[in-house]
Amino acid sequence: MSQSIESPDLDDLAREDPTEMAAHIGDDEAVLLVGHGSRREESNEQVRELAVDLEDHLGLPVDTGFIELEQPGINDAIDQLASAVSEISVVHLSLFAAGHVKNDVPVALETARAEHPELTIRNGSHLGIHPSILDLLDERASEVEAELGVDRTEDDVAVVLCARGSSDPDSNADAYKLARMLWESTEFETVEPTFIGVTEPLLDQTLEQVGDEDYDAVVALPYMLGDGVLTQRVHDWTDEFAADYDGVAGSGEPLGTDERIVEVLASRWQEARTDDVTMSCDTCKYRVTLDGFEDEVGGTRDDLVHVLEHLLEGHDGHSHDHDHSHGDDHGHDHGHSDDHDHDHDHGHSDDHDHDHSHGDDHGHGDGHDHGHGDDA
């Protein structure tokens, strides 16, 4: 017989280590790890690998779903789980909260709730800024220092933290916050935020600016999960800079599938499972009117309302009296779609005999923000 958590215990469980809390969860629950999806199979496989690691970490079944370019999509993944579990907690494999986290995933989840009213579907948060990620970035910088033969305690070392870049100002602002927190907690001379595309400052601009300061060494860190096209661009641009720089310069490795990423994912699951997900709505362009983004209030949710009204009411004469709130459990709902295969057996109960497949990637340029792909 499956066991369930009674709501009075949630506050106590929220204070436990995620793995200890997971031990109290019954066998009728699962986790859905949502990745972006890529044409590069290596990027898709990274999502599956993290799902396996998270499953081992929590001792709970973890499936994967993709926003685009790979299977299964979010809704297909939920369809597969619906026959085996009664509760699903969604965790986002996204570094920052932009359009996919704030719009696409929430839309998919609201559609899934309408199609599976018997399911409890909880929406979690993105990876965000977390002490484990700061620790991992510090380690990545140390690796480059060792390669360059410098030491931040003895040499003037500058770090350039390169994020993907987004059309969402809230997401870009988090890159600045992350850089500041890394600087505050280390002995680097400076930690400068920059971007590989979509917005400025771009990496080559920031490297040029830092180069004028004559630091002993410049360390460029790609703030990306995978070793894809954008990460390679960070390496290439840093190599070009290093060729003309009077000091030494090098670039680090992406975050990858390090166990600290799994720890953050476990924390995000715990927040979702205990209804303790928090996100700032005060600076969200989909929630409030910001100068320059007036047309984006509400995001894609207007279209969703029409879809849901047809699903729930089954008629054409639906009302247009709806609000533009982001939904779910924390003010921004997040949704995904599709289905995939891990090619391994989870050994879950309840005939949870799901299979995890994956698909493709797409290569877009810098000029627009799909938040996709390789290095997301």
Active site residues: 36
Give the 3-state secondary structure percentages of the chain, helix then strand then coil, rounded to 5: 40, 15, 50
Biggest alpha carbon–alpha carbon distance for the chain = 71
For 109, the 3-state DSSP assignment is helix
Contact, 118 vs 86, CB < 8 A?
yes
For 145, the 3-state DSSP assignment is helix
Say if residue 354 is exposed, middle or buried (CB neighbours under 10 Å; 0-12, 13-18, 19+): buried
Question: Which residues pair with residue 89 across a beta bridge?
Answer: 31, 122
Instruction: Report the 10 Å Cβ neighbour count for 368.
Output: 11
φ, ψ (nearest 5 deg) of residue 219: -115, 120
> Where are the alpha helices (H) located in the chain, listed in sequence order?
10-14, 18-22, 41-58, 74-82, 99, 105-115, 131-148, 169-184, 203-211, 229-244, 259-273, 301-313
* Of 58, 61, 59, 56, nearest in space to 86 by CA: 61
Say if residue 13 is exposed, middle or buried (CB neighbours under 10 Å; 0-12, 13-18, 19+): middle
Residue with tokens 């007036």: 294
Relative orientation angle of helices 259-273 and 41-58, to the nearest 10 degrees = 60
